[in-house]
Amino acid sequence: MKSEELFQLINFCKTIQKEGTDPFDLNVKRYLETLKEYLKKWKSFDDLLIDAEAISELAKIIELQGKWIRDRSASFYIDPVLMELKLKMLEPAQLANAFFDSWHPIISMDRITPKRLKEGLDYWNALLPFSERKEEFPPPSTLETAFDIEDLIDLNILSRTEFEDAIKAVSKELEERGRIEYHAFIYEDEFEDSVKKAYLTSYLVSEGKAQLDINPLEEEVFISPGNANEEANTGDVKSIPISLSYEDWMRWKRKQKKN
């Protein structure tokens, strides 16, 4: 190795650092072994200085290689070509198993009532055989999709007596508090209790025992005691969706603590 080759090595190291190319393009081990072999042959002080600079630049490349490995390990980096090769080598059954092992549905249901099972069966029984179908599926049969008190009783979440007692308690509280902001009324210390109260409150509204007053410009919703007889005479029961999220409840909790 001549002095000119040392200069080329140094420039190559600096180019990798400046351009940000793959530091593994440089075979550090081979150059270190070569420098070690020729160290005894350097005669002038200038040769030793250039050798020291080359060692310093190689050390910087080793540092870049370590950073390169850490970055890709942290991001679970996998070479695309290697991934494509592995996928092509998998059997269809192996690929299917890998998919199911990594599949995490965001929604699941662990219980279903006999009523819902029957509705599903009725839907499939209403479909024509494949041989009689046209390009489009026939419209599904009309099904009830509301989640009512009967569903709660079927799921053993609460009994009819408990439900009626809870309704009376919420109705009495609303009578005592009068007109109030909707979320301020339904929010409790626990999020689960807030969800239950929101459900019971919606039942009161549908029965005409409570009324909602919505101000769309200010994005405010107020609830107040209602007259069940007047609501029943109208013959029109309205359903108004109102957002109820865990994040909003947490913000309400933090605000309560500050106050």
Distance CA 154, CA 141 (A): 23
* Domain-terminating residue out of 39, 54, 74: 74
- Give a yes or no: residue 223 inside a domain: yes
Q: How many domains, the chain? A: 2
| SS3 state at 45 | helix
pLDDT at residue 156 tops 80: no
Contacts of 160 (CB under 8 A, 6+ apart): 149, 153
* Domain-terminating residue out of 74, 95, 112: 74
**pTM check: above 0.75:** no
- Give a yes or no: residue 33 inside a domain: yes
Tokens of 54: 């080359």
- Give a yes or no: residue 108 inside a domain: no
- Rg (C-alpha) for the chain, rounded Å, is 36
19-33, pLDDT tens digit by residue? 888 888 888 888 888
Residues 201 and 172: beta-carbon distance below 8 Å? no
- Give a yes or no: residue 199 inside a domain: yes
Distance CA 215, CA 204 (A): 20
Distance CA 188, CA 198 (A): 10
Residue 53, φ and ψ in degrees, nearest 5 = -65, -40
* Domain-terminating residue out of 27, 58, 74: 74
Same domain, 67 and 157: no
Q: Which residues of 94-107 are buried (b: 16+ CB within 10 A; e: fewer)?
A: eeeeeeeeeeeeee
- Give a yes or no: residue 70 inside a domain: yes
Domain that holds residue 63: 3-74
Residues 51 and 32: beta-carbon distance below 8 Å? no
220-232, pLDDT tens digit by residue? 788 888 764 444 4
169-221, pLDDT tens digit by residue? 888 888 888 888 888 888 888 888 888 888 888 878 888 888 887 776 666 78
- Give a yes or no: residue 112 inside a domain: no
Q: Output the pLDDT for position 236.
A: 52
Same domain, 66 and 153: no
Q: What is the CATH classification number for the domain harbouring 226?
A: 1.10.10.580
- Give a yes or no: residue 216 inside a domain: yes
Partnered with residue 211 across adjacent β-strands are: 224
Same domain, 157 and 69: no
- Give a yes or no: residue 171 inside a domain: yes
Same domain, 167 and 66: no
Give the whole-number percent of the chain exceeding pLDDT 70: 73
